[in-house]
Structure 1
Amino acid sequence: MAGSKSNATFQAIKQITQHVANTKRYDRVLRNIQVVSAKPGHCVCRLKVDEEHLNMYGTMHGGYISTLIDSVTTFALLSTEAGTAGVSVNLNVSFHKAAKPGDEVTIDGKVMKQGRTLAFTEAQLTNSDGVVLATGQHVKHVGSS
């Protein structure tokens, strides 16, 4: 049973990423991420850093890293039993090391705690050598007003 729930979660998150990639909205910047795994409260995605992800210094743009943390932690939250995306209350990102063109980046998002009104999530971006590039904490309002 647990395996089928994880597979259903994986398929649902994959469909969400495909949908947002095909919009004309800002979310289309996610078109190149690949869902590696998804289970309730946890989502792992991968991305190859390309020219469109770079800042003027030739490294992955901090705003794009923040978007990845925001999105993958939201995917993790969507994969919980409550299945709600919520609304961002706080997003904190720490940049540890630059990602360069061609780097394979893994984004690992987890729901740490989910209450009636708030959900606390975390994400970590690493390169293919396992070096931490960035970490983030994302708090979302998930309850009714």
Structure 2
Amino acid sequence: MSSTRGLRVLKAIEHYVKTKPDRFDTMNIFNKMELSSPSNGHLRGSFTVDSSMCNCVNAMHGGYITALVDTFAAYAYVCDEKGKLAWTTSMHVNFLKSALKGEKVTIEAYPLKSGNQPVMEAIIRNEAGNVLVKGTVSMQAGQGTIQEMAKAVFQFDFDEKSKL
């Protein structure tokens, strides 16, 4: 179930995609998927693997997968009521099975630990529900200036709860 903040974050991402279409995450990730279920640190997306995501044997490229895990962890964290814009400090990705060009997959990210140093997990599954990738992302929430810069780009105050 989506939360009010989660839905507002989705609108902020839509604004970001429209106003900054040339950024890595907008051009390569958000423009290629349907986002859903933003709530309490959770975010889900689904997409069909296309050739721009693949290596030479038409399997989803490990670099692309890693970018998905990183991006979804960050945006899932800001869907949390106390979430702020954060950056990755470390990441571990387990590549368990391949996704091939033309397959529909889903990615879901959610918190393992909250706070200013959250730990997020992201899981990529195929249509049958098989886990293809499991990633764990440790992050550091940005303070002051970073939150203000993000507010200007997204037209959304990720740090709104700390000001109440």
1:16 corresponds to: 13
The superposition leaves residues 48-105 of structure 1 with CA deviations (integer Å, 9 ceiling, x where unpaired) of: 1011111112100111111111111111101112231211100111100110111111
Relative to the length of structure 1, the TM-score reads 0.87
Name the aligned partner's letter for residue 81 of structure 1: E
Whole-Å Cα distance in 1 between the matches of residues 100 and 56 of structure 2? 12
Aligned partners of 1:48, 1:78: CA distance in 2, in Å? 25
Structure-2 residue corresponding to 1:119: 118
Aligned to 2:92, the other structure's residue is in SS state strand
Q: For residue 73 of structure 2, what is the aligned residue in structure 1?
A: 73
Q: Secondary structure at the match of 1:44?
A: strand
Amino acid at match of 1:45: G
- Does residue 1:133 correspond to 2:132, yes or no? yes
Write the letter of the residue equivalent to 2:3. Answer: S
More strand, by proportion? 1
From 3, 6, 16, the counterpart of 2:3: 6
Structure 1 contact 43–75 (Cα < 8 Å) conserved: yes
Find the residue that maps to 1:136 and give its secondary structure. strand
Q: 2: distance between equivalents of 1:105 and 1:53?
A: 12
Contact (CA 8 Å) 1:13, 1:75: kept in 2 or not? no
Q: How do residues 1-145 of structure 1 correspond to structure 2 at under 5 angstroms?
A: 6-16=3-13, 19-20=16-17, 22-27=20-25, 28-30=27-29, 31-115=31-115, 117-142=116-141, 144=143
Number of equivalences? 141
Identity of aligned residues (%): 29
Whole-angstrom distance in 2 between the partners of 1:15 and 1:80: 14
Q: Is the 8 A contact 2:85 2:142 kept in 1?
A: no
2:52 counterpart SS class: helix
Bigger proportion of residues as helix:
2
Give me the CA root mean square deviation. Answer: 2.1
Pick closer, same or farther for the CA change 1:89–1:59 going to 2, 3 Å.
same
| Aligned equivalents of 2:128, 2:54: Cα separation in 1 | 20
